[in-house]
């Protein structure tokens, strides 16, 4: 249907790479819907033109930033203020219904059936299931709703500093009003659920339709060797999270990288798009140093006391026991 679309957002070249893979994954599963990407002015020309060859519409929008460092630091994600930009999706009024998807999601099968749902349908957040996760949601573009959302931001702000706090505040009866607006978790399977409820993941993970690489470490933060088809720095080969990670990288290296070469030949791309291929880039060296520092910090904090708390079920998932930290810790064991 021409008046229905999947929509994503990328304010910079890193998230643009996520959007490229997401767009490809939707196409590969033969969606009949339009594909729209909202980009910030910071996205480079090469990335923009690649996005144009995958998406039906590439729309440049102003970057909105909550600037709410206090709430964002509670999530340890100072970078998420710009997710307010997501709210622009309500201005896409040439479409009657849309499904928003974070640029760090990957589609594993056709999900066009989501358009049978109403606004605002979304899956529970794994951290607080009475809130919905705003990485995947069904909505109806409307300038009126857009205006009300912006007004809500001005009057109430966001309890997490990002769009998810605003949207849950605005659509506040989601948890209780209408069960048909609760999307099954398989439409937004966060990588975090793999370690918070492993048996459930083993039981139901095979039916996942959308995987969401929620958290600080994104697929594009890793390195990948196209020859061995392995992601370096991943937990272990058998690890299911790395299977999804490998799916992401396979798609990136087989479908996106060749497009880059087609458009730009062997010339180096002057944008974030090339970071992936220059393993010794400054950016990656910096990220590695940062990861090592975080591992050191985790080691200091993973004392007997911490372990005792963990064993009593008092894990600090947002802090020292976050998925990123656990994974980094495992990585250090595997490297030894
Ligand atoms: N986003 C973006 N630029 C940023 C941060 C976020 O474009 O600097 C967009 C992107 O679509 C991303 C979404 O906002 O997927 C939400 O952020 P993220 O996925 O990092 O949050 P998480 O799901 O990890 O909480
Ligand atoms: C969440 C969501 C993400 C959202 C962020 C900020 O964790 O996964 O989509 O942008 O919070 O509110
Ligand atoms: Mn996300």
Please report the domains of the chain, with CATH numbers, ordered by start residue: 4-190 (3.90.550.10)
- In this structure, the residues whose C-beta lies within 6 A of any atom of ligand 1 are 8-12, 15, 79-80, 82-83, 86, 102-104, 135, 214-215
Residues near 60 by beta carbon (within 8 Å), at least 6 away in sequence: 38, 39, 40, 41
Report the pLDDT value the prediction gives residue 264, as an integer from 0 to 100. 72
pLDDT along the chain (336 residues), means of 10: 93 97 98 98 96 98 91 89 94 98 98 98 97 98 96 93 97 98 97 87 94 93 85 57 87 92 64 41 38 39 53 52 59 54
Ligand lying closest to the C-alpha of residue 216: 1
Report the pLDDT value the prediction gives residue 318, as an integer from 0 to 100. 53
Report the pLDDT value the prediction gives residue 277, as an integer from 0 to 100. 42
Report the pLDDT value the prediction gives residue 288, as an integer from 0 to 100. 40
What is the whole-number distance in angstroms between the Cα of residue 60 and the centre of ligand 3? 20
Under 8 Å between Cβ of 119 and 178: no
What is the whole-number distance in angstroms between the Cα of residue 265 and the centre of ligand 3? 32
First to last CA, the chain: 54
The span from the CA of 263 to the CA of 231, in Å, is: 26
List the structure tokens of 329: 């810790």
Residue to probe by mutation, ligand 1, list 7, 80, 81, 165, most atoms within 8 Å of CB? 80
What is the whole-number distance in angstroms between the Cα of residue 62 and the centre of ligand 2? 19
Under 8 Å between Cβ of 51 and 23: yes
Ligand lying closest to the C-alpha of residue 11: 1
The span from the CA of 84 to the CA of 74, in Å, is: 17
Nearest residue to 166 via CA among 65, 92, 63: 65
Strand partners, 101: 136
Report the pLDDT value the prediction gives residue 322, as an integer from 0 to 100. 59
Ligand lying closest to the C-alpha of residue 22: 1
What is the whole-number distance in angstroms between the Cα of residue 134 and the centre of ligand 2? 6
pTM, two decimals, is 0.82
| Angle ∠(75,203,206) on CA atoms, nearest 5 | 80
For residue 160, give the ligand 2 atom closest to its CA. 12
Strands (DSSP E) found in the chain: 4-10, 34-39, 57-60, 97-101, 105-107, 121-124, 132-139, 189-190, 210-212, 223-225, 230-232
Residues near 199 by beta carbon (within 8 Å), at least 6 away in sequence: none
């Amino acid at each position: 249907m021409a008046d229905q679309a999947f929509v994503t957002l990328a304010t910079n070249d890193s998230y643009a790479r996520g959007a490229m893979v997401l767009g490809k994954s939707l196409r590969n599963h033969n969606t009949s819907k339009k594909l729209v990407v909202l980009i910030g002015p910071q996205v480079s020309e090469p990335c923009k033109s690649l996005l144009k060859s995958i998406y039906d519409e590439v729309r440049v929008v102003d970057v909105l930033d909550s600037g709410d460092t206090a709430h964002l630091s509670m999530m340890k994600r100072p970078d998420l203020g710009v997710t307010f930009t997501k709210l622009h999706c309500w201005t896409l009024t040439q479409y009657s219904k849309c499904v928003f998807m974070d640029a760090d999601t990957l589609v594993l099968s056709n999900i066009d059936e989501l358009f049978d749902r109403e606004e605002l349908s979304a899956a529970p957040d794994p951290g607080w299931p009475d809130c919905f996760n705003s990485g995947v949601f069904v909505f109806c573009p409307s300038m009126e709703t857009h205006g009300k959302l912006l007004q809500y931001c001005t009057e109430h702000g966001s309890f997490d500093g990002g769009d998810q706090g605003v949207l849950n505040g605005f659509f506040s009866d989601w948890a209780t009003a209408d069960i048909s607006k609760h999307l099954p978790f398989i439409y937004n399977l966060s990588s975090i659920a793999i370690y918070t409820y492993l048996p459930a993941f083993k039981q139901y993970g095979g039916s996942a339709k959308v995987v969401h690489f929620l958290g600080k470490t994104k697929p594009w933060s890793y390195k990948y060797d196209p020859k061995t088809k392995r992601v370096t720095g991943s937990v272990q080969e058998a690890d299911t999270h790395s299977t999804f990670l490998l799916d992401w990288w396979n798609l990136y290296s087989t479908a996106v990288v060749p497009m880059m070469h087609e458009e730009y030949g062997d010339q180096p791309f002057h944008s974030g798009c090339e970071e992936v291929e220059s393993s010794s880039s400054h950016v990656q060296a910096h990220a590695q140093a940062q990861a090592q520092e975080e591992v050191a910090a985790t080691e200091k904090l993973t004392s007997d006391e911490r372990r005792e708390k963990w064993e009593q079920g008092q894990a600090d998932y947002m802090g020292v026991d976050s998925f990123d930290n656990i994974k980094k810790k495992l990585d250090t064991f595997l490297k030894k």
